[in-house]
Amino acid sequence: MKDLKKEQEENRLPYSGFGTAPVYFTAISTILGAVLFLRFGFAVGTVGFWGAIGIILLGHLITIPTALAISEIATNTRVEGGGEYFIISRSFGLKIGSTIGFTLFISQAISIAFYIITFTEAFAPFFDWWQESLGFALPRQVISVPALVLLTVVILYKGAGSGMKLLYLVNIILFISLLFFFWGKPIEAGEGLTQVGAENFGFFHKEKFFVLFAICFPAFTGMTAGVGLSGDLKNPGKSIPLGTMGGTLTGLVVYVLIVWKLAVSASQADLVEDQLIMSRIAVFGSVLIPLGLGACTFSSALGSILVAPRTLQALATDNSFPVRRMNRFLARGKGENREPFNATVVSFVIALVFVLMGNIDRVAGIISMFFLITYGTLCLISFLNHFGSPPSYRPRFKSKWYFSLGGFLLSVWVMFMINSLYTIISYIVLVGIYLFIEHYNKEQKGLVDIFNGALFQLNRRLRVFMQKNQSARETQEWRPAAICISPHSFERDKVLELMKWISHQHGFGTYFHFIEGYYSKQTHAESQEILRRLIDNQKEHESALYIDTMISPSYTSAIAQVIQAPSISGMENNMVVFEFDKSKPDELCRILENINLARAGNFDICIFAGSHYPIRTRNGIHVWIRGTDEKNTNLMILLGYIIMAHPDWHKSQIKIFITSHTGESENTQKELEERIAAGRLPITLTNIEIIPLAEKQTLKDAITMHSKQAGLTIIGFREEIIKHEPMAFFTDFQEIGDTLFVNASQSKEIN
């Protein structure tokens, strides 16, 4: 069996040598097509001159950013067969490229039917004569079906080259018919121009604006028609930008002039009632306008039948279908240029179904929704490339990110304005297609990969912004940016739980697993394996804690390194959390040896003493405040509130105990109640308890009596404790559960 990549290379379409002209003429003949001749008179008569101008401008506010995005992306990479699909897939990856590619192909195939149906309207005089002469109406399909068959046969057996020759001829006819239209005079020749057109210069029936927009929007989608010839172009990077932008701007100017000509040349009633009103205005209009309509619609159908099969062929070449035999069948080409014979047959069958449907407006609405999805995606690609700034994105043609973002947002908004239900269904179907493709192509680039660059840039800019505004933020509020380092990540996980609670909603946390030793290939490999295991464990707990490893020859050097490491939050780290096991008091020694090192950086210090008791979150958090805890009080209360925000504690409460001597109780309680009320903390006054200490009663006795069953006990300590018998203080609370000792570098404000 052939290698997948080798098979794709064998199926690639060779360049056949077309220049810029085919791109331009394919685009302009599709832009100045069926909708122009059949629906813009009705649009002017329904929503007025300014309403029609609004439709044109809104349409081009979507198509121009798309044209710029296509031009930009086309000059950044080698563009092969498949046009828009190739651009999307090579920018978004094959998963999303295939998803959008399927919808793009369907819209292109339906476009063939749309242009064939409108081509049939050029024979309206013939159908009218038939009905008047023979007394019964002839179905339009007697023209549309043979025309579709004839067009397909020409493309199948003559190829794209013959199609281009025919394209030049119909463009000449199109421009001649438009020239004679502008040469024409108002229908009511006896009245002045102002009188004829005065009633049309307004913006009325606003409720019908988006209905008409959906019908008219396919006129503007022709600007990407030439992109589908990418595999047949000699220099796509040059021809696509020039041809696409040239066709788009030409179409914009011509549409504005035509709307003005219609508004000043016919009454509102005539514009609404006669879909071929242009034939009554143009010189020799009864002949030239149907001829121009037939020419432009046939050329548009020709452009679509050249483009749609090439999109389908490119999809199959990339093995987008789950069945390998189907990919081979649709990717197969005919002749030296690998003309998409089989894909053309499939496109013909789809188009035939919609030709038999025969309703112009219904088909136009379907096309509009499909193209809006595609255009919005192309604009999003361009925006993400601008925002993500990957080094590989170096287009020769450069647009602006705000054009692309505006085009994307406008596309989505217009879809909802046209039909919100259909928009939701469309995106649900898109997601379904994506998930189906992802199931069969797990190794390909997907959604996560696409947004990596954008998320990287967003994170970078946010961190720089937060660093620049660090001093201002410190005066406004305080939140913890805690770091913890421990070699016991797998022996005990309580400190990991504590860090998870701190970093859940209001704070940031970084946990380092300490590996003692020198940095080498062996220790690096060990650290990566440990990091993977720790991250996997945190995934199960849905933790917001950032995990890393630290290789260092000693615990002291490791502390020195981590306190200088930047925080992932973009703000400076401000808290160091040490941890030890109450049953192993010897672990406390190296913590005490390094507290002053951490204090040198003005860090708040927390020492977590883990007990042998299981975590009892339902029993609440107990905060013990003494008269000597002036600097620590607010930090302890804030930490209790921040930890309590985690779902693990949702059925718990914070209880504050204030130890005092006789006569100080009332003042202490009043002051604390004022702090809590001013800070709007969810601590009820009933949860504040004054604990008067008897003459010989110690702090340990009081805490043991009231907090033996607490889920977490928070106790403050002063710098003097570190200097005078610290071991006795930190190991004195063996009978209670988990304990967090807190020392603030400076007093915090409760805002």
Provide the edge-to-edge strand list for the sheet that holds 604-610.
546-552, 508-516, 481-486, 575-581, 604-610, 739-743, 712-716, 621-625, 654-660, 688-692
Locus of tokens 């059925």: 651
Q: What is the pLDDT of residues 387-410, one digit of tens each?
A: 666 655 667 777 788 888 899 999
Q: Does residue 471 carry a pLDDT above 70? A: no
In this predicted structure, what is the pLDDT of residue 186? 83
Terminal-to-terminal C-alpha distance of the chain: 69
More confident residue, 217 or 454: 217
Give every CB contact of residue 247 below 8 A, 6+ residues apart in sequence: 23, 24, 26, 27, 28, 31, 222, 223, 226
pLDDT band at 634, cuts 50/70/90? confident
Written as six digits, the tokens of 515 are 């590996």
**This prediction's pTM:** 0.61
- Residues 52/54/58/63 CA torsion (nearest 10 deg): 50
Exposure on the CB side of residue 354, measured as CA atoms within 13 A: 25
Written as six digits, the tokens of 297 are 């619609």
Angstrom distance (rounded) from CA 342 to CA 748: 74
Structural domains in the chain, sorted by start: 14-450 (1.20.1740.10), 469-743 (3.40.50.12370)
If you average pLDDT over residues 565-581, what whole number do you get? 83
Residue 89 contacts residue 80 (beta carbons within 8 Å): no
If you average pLDDT over residues 340-354, what whole number do you get? 87
Out of 254-263, 306-315, 585-594, pick the least confident: 306-315
Q: What is the pLDDT of residues 120-162, one digit of tens each?
A: 877 877 888 888 888 778 888 888 888 888 888 877 776 655 5
Q: Does residue 230 carry a pLDDT above 50? A: yes
Out of 344-358, 611-625, 706-720, pick the least confident: 344-358
If you average pLDDT over residues 329-334, what whole number do you get? 82
Q: Does residue 202 carry a pLDDT above 90? A: no
Written as six digits, the tokens of 655 are 């209880």
Q: Angle at CA 522, nearest 5°, toward 516 and 526?
A: 65
In this predicted structure, what is the pLDDT of residue 192? 40
If you average pLDDT over residues 452-462, what whole number do you get? 66
In this predicted structure, what is the pLDDT of residue 605? 94
Written as six digits, the tokens of 636 are 């302890």
Angstrom distance (rounded) from CA 94 to CA 78: 16
Q: What is the pLDDT of residues 64-90, one digit of tens each?
A: 888 888 777 777 666 665 567 777 777
- Judge residue 464's burial from the number of C-beta atoms within 10 Å of its C-beta, 0-12 exposed, 13-18 middle, 19 or more buried: exposed
In this structure, the chain runs to a length of: 751
DSSP output for 184-195? ---SSTTS-HHH
In this predicted structure, what is the pLDDT of residue 693? 76
Written as six digits, the tokens of 123 are 């024979």
In this predicted structure, what is the pLDDT of residue 12? 45
Instruction: Give backbone dihedrals phi and psi of 646, rounded to 5 degrees, phi first.
Output: -75, 145
Out of 81-90, 427-436, 510-519, 638-647, pick the least confident: 81-90
Estimate to the nearest angstrom the gap between the alpha carbon of 353 and the chain centroid.
34
pLDDT band at 555, cuts 50/70/90? very high
